[in-house]
Amino acid sequence: MAAVTGATGVFGGAFDPPHVGHVELARRGIEHFRLDRLLVLVVAHPGHKGVATPPEIRLRLAELAFGRLEGAEVALDTHARTVDSLLALGLDDPIFLIGADEFASFPTWTAPERVLELARLGVATRPGVDTARLEAVRATLARPERVEFFAIEPLPVSSSDIRARLGRGLSVDGLLPPAVGAEIARHGLYAHVDRAGGGGMLGDDRTEGTTQT
Ligand code: ATP
Supply the CATH number for residue 40's domain: 3.40.50.620
Q: Is residue 142 part of a domain?
A: yes
pTM for this structure? 0.90
Amino acid identity at 113: E
| C-alpha span between 165 and 144 (Å, rounded) | 38
Residue 167 lies in a domain: no
Q: Establish whether residue 8 lines the binding site of ligand 1, counting it when its CB lies within 6 angstroms of any ligand atom.
A: no
Q: Which domain holds residue 73?
A: 8-156
Q: Give burial (CB, 10 Å; 0-12/13-18/19+) of 112.
A: buried
Average pLDDT of adjacent 10-residue blocks, the chain of 213 residues? 72 98 97 97 88 97 97 96 96 96 92 98 83 93 96 91 96 97 97 58 38 60
Cβ within 8 Å of residue 194, ≥6 positions away: 167, 200
72 Cα to the center of ligand 1, angstroms: 17
Task: Round to whole Å and give the CA distance between 138 and 123.
Answer: 11
- Amino acid 10: pLDDT: 98
CB 177, CB 65: distance < 8 Å: yes
The answer to the question of residue 183 being in a domain is: no
Count structural domains, the chain. Answer: 1
Q: Give domain status of residue 171, yes or no.
A: no
In angstroms, what is the span from residue 147 Cα to ligand 1's centroid?
A: 18
Structure confidence at residue 127 (pLDDT) = 63
| Closest residue to atom 13 of ligand 1, CA basis | 13
Q: Is residue 189 part of a domain?
A: no
Any domain includes 38? yes
Give the pLDDT score at 130: 85
Does residue 18 lie in a domain region?
yes
Ligand 1 center–CA 6 separation, angstroms: 25
DSSP 2: P
